[in-house]
A = this chain, B = another copy of it.
Amino acid sequence: MLPGLTTADLAATALFALEGAVVGAASGLDVFGVLVVACVSALGGGTLRDLLIGAVPTASVDDVRYVTVSLLGGLTAFATYRLAFDTSSEPVVLLDAAGLSLFAVVGATKAHDFSLPAFSAALIGTVTAVGGGVMRDLLVGRVPLVLREDVYATAALLGAGIVAAGLARGLDRTRVAVLGGMACFALRVLAHRYGWNLPTA
C-alpha cells in the first residue's frame, strides 16, 4: 500500500470510530458498549474486505494501530458527547464523506493488489466503505443507513469503480486514488446538500 494511503486509512478509521461511538452513546450504551460499536464501525468494513480477499490475519487484528485509533476515536466521542456532537451537521457530513472516499479507494486498491478482477475490486471497495456502518446499525437494532440513505453506497461504488478501472489499465496509482476519492467525495456531498434521490420501486 502507498505510505500515504495507510496514514489516510488510519485517519478514516478514527473518524468512523467517532461516528460509531456517537450512535452507540445515543442508544444509551455504557462506555464499553460504546467502544464496541466504535470498533465495529471503524474496523468492520476493512475486516470484511480482508476476509473476502483472503488477507488474513486481517489488518484490523494484525496491525495494532487500527484498534488503537478506533479506541481513541471512540473515547473522544464518549468524552465530548455532552457537547452535543451532531452527526448530521455539515462538518460531520464532510468528514464522513472523506472517510467514505478513503475506505473506498483503499479497499479497491488492496483488492487489486490481491489480483482480483476490476469488477470485484470495485465492489470490495464499496464493501470496505459501507460494511462497518452496516454492522454498526445492525448492532443497535436499526435498518442500515446505507439502505435508507440515497446516494451513499452509490458514491463509494463510483470512487471504487474509478480506482479499480484505472488500476486495471495500469494507470498511476496515486492519480487514480486521488481521482476516485474526489469523485466519491463530490458525489456524496452534492447528493446530501441537494437531496438527490434514487428511484424506488
Chain A residues in contact with chain B, CB under 8 A? 24-25, 27-34, 36-37, 47, 51-54, 56-58, 60-62, 64, 67-68, 78, 81-82, 111, 114, 116-117, 119-120, 123-124, 134, 138-144, 146-148, 150-151, 153-154, 197-201
Q: Is the CB of A153 within 8 A of B64?
A: no
How often does this chain occur in the complex, in copies? 3
Contacts of A200 in B (CB 8 A): 25, 28-31
Given contacts A25-B201, A142-B141, A143-B139, contact A53 B64 (CB under 8 A): no
22 CB-based A-B contacts, threshold 8 Å: A24-B147, A25-B201, A29-B147, A31-B201, A32-B151, A32-B154, A32-B198, A33-B146, A33-B148, A33-B153, A37-B147, A47-B52, A51-B56, A52-B57, A53-B56, A53-B57, A81-B201, A134-B139, A138-B139, A140-B147, A141-B141, A141-B142
Q: Is the CB of B62 within 8 A of A58?
A: no
Chain B nearest Cβ from A56, distance in angstroms? 3
Q: Is the CB of B201 within 8 A of A61?
A: no
Chain B nearest Cβ from A147, distance in angstroms? 4
